[in-house]
Structure 1
C-alpha cells in the first residue's frame, strides 16, 4: 500500500469541502468532528481551519478565476482541490512550489492520477498573478465573493451605499475567537484577551485553542460572538414592572444565548425555560446550560409556533428566529453559496408565526426580544411590522439606551430597533427589536 503524502491539515480541509459540496454539511461542525477524530491539533488544526474558512469565504472569486483558466466542466472533487490550492497561492503565505505540490499529491491520493496534470497546470497559471490582479475589473459578485442576490439584500439592509464594499470585505475576513464569561460563573479576567464594546462579558482572543481555557472546558464560559451576547443582554436589561421570575427562550438551540440568559437570571433569582424544536439541538442546549442550572427552569423539545405553555406565562421572552444567516457570513461562509432568495421567502412566515407566539407567551407588561443573525429587511423590520400591523397589544420599545457604549447601531428600517454590522461593530450582523406586550 502506498504511503500517503498529504499532510493531515490539508486532507481534513479537503474532506470538509467535499462534505459541504456533496452533503450540505455545516463546515464548522464537520471540521470540528474530523479534527477530533483524527487527533489533529495545534498548528495543523489552525492550518485546516484557515484552509476551510478562507476557501469557502472566497469561493466565488476563486471560481471566477478557475473558470477563466479551464475549458469544459470540472468534476466537483477536482474543483474543490483547485479552490484549496488557489486559496494557498493567492491568500496565504504558502510558497508556490509547496501549494502546487501538496495539492497535486492530494488529488493523486484522493481522486486519482488522471486529473493531477490538469491541476498542476492550472495552479501554475493561477500563481502567475496575485489576487488583486486576477479580480481587477471583474463584476462585483466575483470581486467580493458574494452572490449578486446577497449583495442586493445586504445593500438594501445597510442603506448606506458608501459602506457596502467595507461590509462585503468584512464578511471575507477571518473572524476573531470571542469568548463569553457567564456572570456568576466566570470573570473576564480569567479568560485573557481584550475587551469588546458590545458586551461587558466578551473578550477577543489573540489566538490559541479556546478549549484550552479552563472556564470554557468547565462550561462557565463559552465561545460566543459579542453580538449574540448583546441579544441576551438587551432582553435582560429591559425595564420591567412587577414579576420578573419566568423567562423563555423560544428557539434555544444550540444553547449559547440560553446559557448566558440563565447565568444572568440566576443572579436575580429568576429562571429560563429553554425550548428547542429539534431533539438533538435540545440536547445541546441541556449541555450548554448545565453550569448555570440555578437559572434554568427546564429544557423542553417543542414547536415554538404551537407551544406547550399557557399564554401570558412569561415576563421576558427571547425569539432568536431561524433565518438565512446572512449576518454571520464570516463564521458560516458556506451560507452565501447555499442560501437563495427563495429561502428567505420561505422563512418569513415561520419568523412571523414565532414572533406572534412569543408575544402571546409574554404577560401584559412583559417584553419580547425578536432577533436574527440576518440583516435582510424581509426577515427583520418586515417581520416586526407584519406582526404589529395585525395586533394592537404590542409596541416596539426603543432599545438604544440598552447597548452601552456601542454607537451607530439603530436600524435604518425600524426606528428603535438595532442593527449591528461587522464593519462597524466587529460583531455579526445581528438584528434586535424589543417589543412590549400591552
Structure 2
C-alpha cells in the first residue's frame, strides 16, 4: 500500500514538474500590478485608477497630433471633468475628496501615457486650486473653487521669472498698495496653462509689508496683463507655457490670498505639497517607457525571433523594471510619511530629484531598446524620453532640490548664498 502511494506521489510530482516546466509566464507588462500596489487603495480608489487608465489609453493615439502641433486639446477638458478626479483632495464645492494615494495613482496613470495632460492637471490642481484652498479666505475659496473644480475656469501659478528660476526667493515682481487693491508690475516665465488660464496666481513682493512675497489672483482679461506662448519647446509639447508681462495690473483687495503672508507660509507650503505629485509623475513617465519598450520588444522580430529573447534586451528590461519598482516603493513610503505630517521639504525634494534622474535612465534604456523605431511617437518611448527632461528641471532642478536636502542632512549648513 505504501509503495503504491509513493508511486502515485512520484507520478503526481512528475506531472507538476512537467507542467511547471512548460507553463509560459505572463510578461510583466504592468509595474503597478506586479507589486500589488492596489493594496494601498480603497475599492473606490481602484475604480478611479482603472477609469483613469482606460481614459488615457483611449486618447493616446489622438494626442500624437496635438504633440506634433504643440496645441492643447481643449475638447478633452469635458471628458477630463467627467473622470471625477479634478479637485483632487478638495471635499467641498463639488470636489471629489480623493485620498492622497488615490491622487497619486491618478497622477501615475496619466503620466504613463502623457505627462503633458498630467502637468495640466497638476498645475490646475496642486499649484492652482490648492493655493486657494490652503491659503485663501472662505470668501476666496467660495468665489474661485466651484468653477475651477467643474473645469469651467482654469488656474495657473506664476512664480518663476526670466532671471529667477531656482532662485525664486529673489523674484522682482512688485505689488504696490493703492486704494481698493494693488498694482502689480513685473514678468513671469515658463508659466503652465497661462495662455488660457482664467486665474493666474502671481507671486509678488508687497512693498507695504517689507517686500514679503505674497500671492495675488490675476483674472484673465485684466488691463495690463499680457501672455505669450513659449515656442520651439521639445518637451511637454502639449503644455502651453507662457511668458507673462504685468504692466500696472490692478488686483482688488479681495484677490490677495489671505494666508500667504510671506514666502515660507505661502510658496514653500505649496511647493512641498505639489512637488510630491511631480515625483509621482516622474515614476509614471518611467513606467510608461518601460511598458512601451517591453511591448515593442515582444512584438519586434530580428534574426528570426523576438528581440525580447536576446540577453541584452532582457538585461535592459530587468534593469528598467528594478528601477521602476524602486521608485514606486520609495515614493509610496514618502507619501505615507507626508500623510502623517512627518516629511520635510528636503525629503520631498530628494524624492522628486531621485525619481526624475532615475526616470531619465529608464527612458534612455527604453529608447535604446526600440532601436531606430524608438524615435517614432507611435512607439511612445521618445515622448517619455523628451518629457522627463522637462519634469527633471521644473519645480526645482535636480541640483537645487538635492542641495535643499543636503542642508537638512548637515543640520542646516547652507550651500546657497
The answer to whether the superposition gives a TM-score over 0.5 is: no
When the two structures are superposed, what TM-score results if normalisation uses the length of structure 2?
Answer: 0.29
When the two structures are superposed, what TM-score results if normalisation uses the length of structure 1?
Answer: 0.28
> Higher helix share goes to which structure?
2
Highest relative contact order (Cα 8 Å, sep 6+), 1 or 2? 2
